[in-house]
Structures are given as structure tokens and as C-alpha cells.
Amino acid sequence: MEVYSEKKQISKAISLLKSKKGSVGLVPTMGALHRGHLALVERALENNSHVVVSVFVNPTQFDNEDDLEKYPRTLDEDVALLSTLSKERILVYAPTVDDIYEGNTVSEKFDFDGLEFEMEGRFRNGHFDGVGTIVKRLFEIITPNNAYFGEKDFQQLQIIKKLVEKCHIPVNIIGFPIYRESTGLAMSSRNTRLKPEYLEVSPFIHKTLIAAKKRFGTESANKVTEWVKNQFYNHDLLDLEYFIIADTETLKPTKRKSSKKTYRAFIAVYAGDIRLIDNIALN
């Protein structure tokens, strides 16, 4: 399997593939790959002749230095895992910060029509400008036909669809359902940093989302939100940052339910110093 660290080299390899009428799928990641990432790559392999997996811990999307520093970096293991899927059809792009940012590690400023100010945008300053910057650069370098993103970061997925629409980037964005541990915990590279006592209680998050979904069938968004807050109020180890029921398209909090709209519940929880997010479709 080829591992590229320079954009010039991977661009050349992709031009060659495209000249032979190949199609390219992109799975952008920050590495520390798990089953959820592999499911995205498998899906991309079904739809494209070749798949580029980018592995890059993007500094501009972190608002917390400590989180950036401690983010797991496991390139050798990542490459070994990807090799189990295909050695010939997967290309890994693992650039340095300089290869991407060329000495100017700052974000571009984006207008995502307000999607960026909801939920994660309220709690992670500048996060979506950082995500928009790296994803746009990856699209410019890789020129994929299709790009794959997990629904665990549902707000990110909606923002990337907006990025592509606003910047007229010719790529199909494909969302993929959340991949879960058998306990229900949404898979995330950050899970490896959970201490055992937090790992043990973490399924509570998904269980609460399922219960909230059931309640949403008969109760108002406000009532469900209050109920969820109470569940966490008395929890010894999990600290609720937010629980929001939002319109799937606008991501604005729901005031009154409409049968014409679709809704999702979004949650962010601290398990010690590890921040976990999750979400669930409600209707």
C-alpha cells in the first residue's frame, strides 16, 4: 500500500488513475482508525476504483491545545488495518502540517448559513472554520468523485454539504450511519482514552438517546430535553454539556414539532476529561 506524505506526489498518482478512467473516493480521517472508519472505507471501495484515506490531525479545528497534543497518532497501525481491506486500491495520504498549511497554519473563514453557530459551534470556538479549511484543501488536492463522512459528526456532515454547495466543489458527499460498540457507545478515536470507570458508564449516553426518542413520540421537545437533563443531573461520572433536539436541515433547536420536518437529538457529554458526542434520528 502506498503511503504519501506530500500533496505533489499524491496528486500525480491520482492524475494517473483518473487518466485511466478510475474513480476516486475520499475518506478523510484524523487517524487512530476503528471499525467505524473501516466501514466507511469498505463503502468507498464498493463505489470507486480507488480510495484515498487521509490521516491528518488537523490543528486548526482544535480549540484545546491539550486535546490536540493528546489526540492518538497511530499511523503504522492505521496502515496495517487498511491493508486488511485492500493493498492495491487504497492510497494513504498522511501529510505533515507544513504540506497542508505551507507555513501559515490558520483557518479560512466560512459562512455556512448559520449551521456553524449551533451545538458544537457554541462550545468549540472556530472548530468549523478549521474543518472547512482542511476538507476544502483535501478536496482540492485529491479531487475525489465521492467523499464519505460518518453521521456521528452529523453537524459536520451538514456543514460539508454546505461547503460543497457554496464553493461549487464537484464531489458527492455520502453520509454513513453511526458505528457503535456492542454496548451502544458510538465509536470514536477518543474512546481509547477513556478510563475504565468511564468506559463502563458510557453506554448510558446511547440508552438515554433511545429513551428520548421514545418520549419524543408523545412529548414536546422541551419536555424531553428537561427529562434528559434530569437523567444526567444525578449522574456521578457523566457531565452533560448539551442535549438539543434540532431540525435536521437547519440544526436549529425545535420549539414546536411539525409533521413535515425531521428531527434529531444531539448530545455532548464529558466523561472525565474526554468529550463524547452522539446523536439519534427521532422521526
> What are the residue numbers of the active site?
37
The one among 10, 91, 134, 251 contacting ligand PAF by CB under 6 A: 134
Q: Distance (Å, rounded) from C-alpha 247 to C-alpha 257?
A: 9
- Report the residue number, 32 or 265, with the smaller CB distance to ligand PAF: 32
Interface stretch with ligand PAF, choices 7-15, 130-138, 199-207, 262-270 (CB under 6 A) = 130-138
Q: Distance (Å, rounded) from C-alpha 128 to C-alpha 117?
A: 9
269 neighbors 240 (Cβ within 8 angstroms): yes
Residues 11-70 close enough to bind ligand PAF by CB under 6 A: 28-30, 58, 61
Q: How far is the CB of 28 from ligand PAF (least distance, A)?
A: 4
Q: Which residues pair with 264 in a beta bridge?
A: 246, 281
Interface stretch with ligand PAF, choices 17-25, 127-135, 163-171, 191-199 (CB under 6 A) = 127-135
**DSSP states of 97-154:** HHHHHTT---PPP---TTGGGSTHHHHSTTHHHHHHHHHHHHHHHH--SEEEEEGGGH
Q: How far is the CB of 194 from ligand PAF (least distance, A)?
A: 18
Residues 153-182 close enough to bind ligand PAF by CB under 6 A: 153, 156
Residues 202-261 close enough to bind ligand PAF by CB under 6 A: none
Total chain residues near ligand PAF (CB under 6 A):
10
Q: How far is the CB of 149 from ligand PAF (least distance, A)?
A: 6
Q: How far is the CB of 163 from ligand PAF (least distance, A)?
A: 11
Instruction: Kindly list the distances between the CA atom of residue 96 and the CA atoms of 7, 37, 144, in Å, as whole numbers in the listed order.
Output: 10, 21, 20
- Report the residue number, 95 or 228, with the smaller CB distance to ligand PAF: 95
Alpha-helical regions (H) of the chain: 7-19, 35-47, 65-70, 75-83, 97-101, 120-123, 127-142, 154-166, 196-201, 203-216, 221-233
Which residues 6+ apart lie within 8 Å of 189 measured at CB? 30, 31, 32, 33, 34, 71, 72
Looking at this protein, which amino acid is placed at residue 278? D
- Report the residue number, 187 or 267, with the smaller CB distance to ligand PAF: 187
Q: Distance (Å, rounded) from C-alpha 22 to C-alpha 70?
A: 38
107 binds ligand PAF (CB under 6 A): no
Q: How far is the CB of 27 from ligand PAF (least distance, A)?
A: 9
- Report the residue number, 77 or 200, with the smaller CB distance to ligand PAF: 77
- Report the residue number, 120 or 213, with the smaller CB distance to ligand PAF: 120
Instruction: Kindly list the distances between the CA atom of residue 47 and the CA atoms of 5, 62, 90, in Å, as whole numbers in the listed order.
Output: 25, 32, 13
The one among 26, 38, 44, 131 contacting ligand PAF by CB under 6 A: 131
Q: How far is the CB of 188 from ligand PAF (least distance, A)?
A: 9
To which residue does cell 490543528 refer? 59
Which residues lie near ligand PAF (CB under 6 A)?
28-30, 58, 61, 131, 134-135, 153, 156
